Amino acid sequence: MSIRISSVLIVLPAFVTWSFAESPPPVTSAARKDPIEINDPDFSASFDALYQKTWGPGAVPEKYKQLTGVSISIVERCETCLGWHIKEAVRLRANKNELIEAIRVGLLTGGSITIPTVRKAYEILEEQKVR
């Protein structure tokens, strides 16, 4: 069996509803708590620490990490991940041209099978009014 590590690191944003730089939203009866955190809190805490170490401040600027996440999301064809990484890249002041280049890297690396995800990336850029 082959495991793709990039999938493991890129999937977490689908479960996280806030940036680790922000305080998590309060859990109320209306808010749904992450089922991974409920059922496997030790793993969840360890994975969160790995997530913060990987995507947080380091030798590579966070904006470039998020642009890399955009490319990987396209290769993996994960639209939820793609939306997260575009949002984070924009928050870190990535501009439209930088995002387009990251999208191109994903398309070139992933091949024509990624075209539907690339279309979704451009829809997200329009929705978020990225300039």
CA 69, CA 62: separation in Å to the nearest integer? 10
**pLDDT per residue rounded down to tens, the chain (131 residues):** 444 444 444 444 444 444 444 444 444 445 678 899 999 999 999 999 999 999 999 999 999 999 999 999 999 999 999 999 999 999 999 999 999 999 999 999 999 999 999 999 999 999 999 99
Per DSSP (E only), the strands in 5-95 are none
Whether residue 100 is contained in a domain is answered as yes
Q: Which two tokens stand for residue 122?
A: 């451009």
Task: Look up the CATH number of the domain holding residue 128.
Answer: 1.20.1290.10
Whether residue 61 is contained in a domain is answered as yes
Whether residue 98 is contained in a domain is answered as yes
CA 118, CA 123: separation in Å to the nearest integer? 9
116 neighbors 103 (Cβ within 8 angstroms): no
Other Cβ atoms closer than 10 A to 25:
9
Whether residue 27 is contained in a domain is answered as no
Boundaries of domain holding 80: 1-22+34-131
